[in-house]
Amino acid sequence: MKRLDEAELHQAIKDVLEGDIGQFERIMQAYQRSIFVYCYHMLGNHSEAEDCGQEVFLKAFRYLKKYDPNLPFVAWLYKIAYHQCIDVIRRRKLARYLPFFYQDDKQNTSVDLEIEAHYFDETVHRALSVLSMEERNLLILRCVEDKSYQEIGLILNRSSPTLRKRYERAAAKFRKAYAKVKGEAAYGTRSGSGVERTFS
């Protein structure tokens, strides 16, 4: 289903708040695919992403009256999704993340073209473990979700210049860790997937 335009979205929200619960289904159908994809990238598990996405919309419905109409609705949804993913990761105590973080911010490409090549690369997963949750989230939003720094700023409550610097540091940190882990795998110092790939 296509996204609702601003007028349609705000009218649907208004209708839901006034008791027309059926209108929330229109909202959910318009955004559920994007939220599922984001949760899938954060969690690395299809069934967990589905469950997480459902919980995101349950919370969105529950707290809809707290939504500030002056902010983009999608940013509000992503913020809920981010915290929901953190809850899932904390519960399972084992994180697996989508490894699409490139040397240059301009080199971001379609996830669909790369997912089969990189998703199960243990070397990348090990390298990601050195990043904080915020760093991983920033890289996913920027590289995988292709969000602008302005959009990410609304989701994370940070200024664009600050996020740009944090992105550069996080990307550099990831590249350094990836090179180290890949070197260990190449020399057999730790058992790994045996996959030798480069990020280009």
What's the one-letter identity of residue 37? V
For residue 189, the surrounding DSSP H or E stretch is: none
Would residue 128 count as lying in a domain? yes
Q: Using the predicted structure, report yes or no on whether residue 189 has a pLDDT greater than 80.
A: no
Phi-psi region of 188 (alpha: psi -120 to 50; beta: other; left: phi over 0): left
- Whether 14 and 67 share a structural domain: yes
pLDDT top residue among 156 and 189: 156
pTM value is: 0.58
- Whether 128 and 152 share a structural domain: yes
The last residue of a domain, from among 36, 57, 92: 92
Would residue 13 count as lying in a domain? yes
27-36, 127-136, 147-156, 191-200 — which is least confidently predicted? 191-200
Q: Into how many domains does the chain fold? A: 2
Would residue 97 count as lying in a domain? no
- Whether 88 and 111 share a structural domain: no
A 10 A CB-CB count for 171 gives 21
pLDDT tens for 35-80 read 998 888 788 788 889 999 999 999 999 999 999 888 889 889 999 9
- Whether 78 and 109 share a structural domain: no
The last residue of a domain, from among 57, 92, 127: 92
- Whether 76 and 120 share a structural domain: no
Q: Using the predicted structure, report yes or no on whether residue 12 has a pLDDT greater than 60.
A: yes
- Average pLDDT value over all residues in the chain: 75
Residue 28 and residue 53 in contact, taking contact as beta carbons nearer than 8 Å: no
Place of tokens 């609702």: 4
> What CATH number should be reported for the domain holding residue 57?
1.10.1740.10
pLDDT tens for 114-123 read 433 444 456 6
- Whether 144 and 73 share a structural domain: no
- Whether 150 and 123 share a structural domain: yes
Domain enclosing residue 140, as ranges: 105-186
pLDDT top residue among 112 and 183: 183
> What CATH number should be reported for the domain holding residue 160?
1.10.10
d(CA 54, CA 31): 11
- Whether 68 and 112 share a structural domain: no
The last residue of a domain, from among 92, 118, 142: 92
Would residue 99 count as lying in a domain? no
- Whether 87 and 120 share a structural domain: no
Residue 87: both structure tokens together: 């809850």
